[in-house]
Amino acid sequence: MVNRDQYARPTLIRWGSVLAGAVIGLALLVLTSTLWVALAEGSGIDAIDRNLHWYGFGTAVVALLLAGLLAGWLSGVRGAGAGLFHGLTVWGLILLGTIVIAIPQAFQPFAAFTSPLPELGAGPLWATFLSLLIGLVAAAAGGMLGGGLSRPAWLYAPTAGHSDEPAGTHRRDVEFGSGIDGAGRIEHRERERPLRT
């Protein structure tokens, strides 16, 4: 019987990076939205108070762009296509969390952002649809940017590990999704890993 090493294919969606992007994006959204509400209500700045819904809308778009960018960059899978899927997944996760967990009801200080945007359409349904659509585009664009960003070369350098294992007890394993070489091909790196007995 021949012993073969089995290699798992890399997954296109890395859930750790999606979750990290979503958490950081939501945290930025909450922090910045709190700032706008404090400036509008507490400081009495009329320009922010009159346009608070636009500040909230812009903050949400920037937060989704950043969440998608981080998810695409942190995934380790290079390319605009992989980044696009990470950005879309972040958007879907944030949308699902907003609907299921009812984030707007949990944060009562943000009730000022629930007013309809009459400048965008003929009612709150159009405003909701357009904000979701623009958020989707922002998260997808952020994911594509994050997936296309280059990472430092040292990140992909093979590890030169020293082992206390006796000679002849190591095998070569391939790690997938390591990056893209100069010609645009996916580059795989190998490293030594001790055999388990």
Identify the pLDDT of residue 9.
65
Domain ranges of the chain: 15-148, 153-194
Q: Is 0.75 surpassed by the pTM of this model?
A: no
Question: What average pLDDT does range 163-174 have in this prediction?
Answer: 46
Distance between CA atoms of 138 and 20, rounded to whole angstroms?
Answer: 17
Tell me if 79 sits within 8 A of 148, measured CB to CB: yes
pLDDT band at 49 (very low <50, low <70, confident <90, very high): confident
Cβ contact 29:59 at 8 Å? yes
Quote the pLDDT of residue 160.
Answer: 53
Q: What pLDDT does 116 receive?
A: 52
pLDDT exceeds cutoff 60 at 29: yes
User: Could you report the per-residue pLDDT of 177-191, keeping only the tens digit for each?
Assistant: 445 555 555 554 544
Is the separation of the CB atoms in 77 and 10 below 8 Å? yes
Report the pLDDT averaged over residues 23-37: 92
Distance CA 174, CA 8 (A): 10
- On whether the CB atoms of residues 34 and 112 are closer than 8 A, the answer is no
pLDDT digits (tens, 9 = 90+) for 85-144: 999 999 999 888 877 775 555 555 555 555 554 454 455 667 678 888 999 999 999 999
- For position 194, what pLDDT does the model report? 53
Q: What is the pLDDT of residue 100?
A: 75
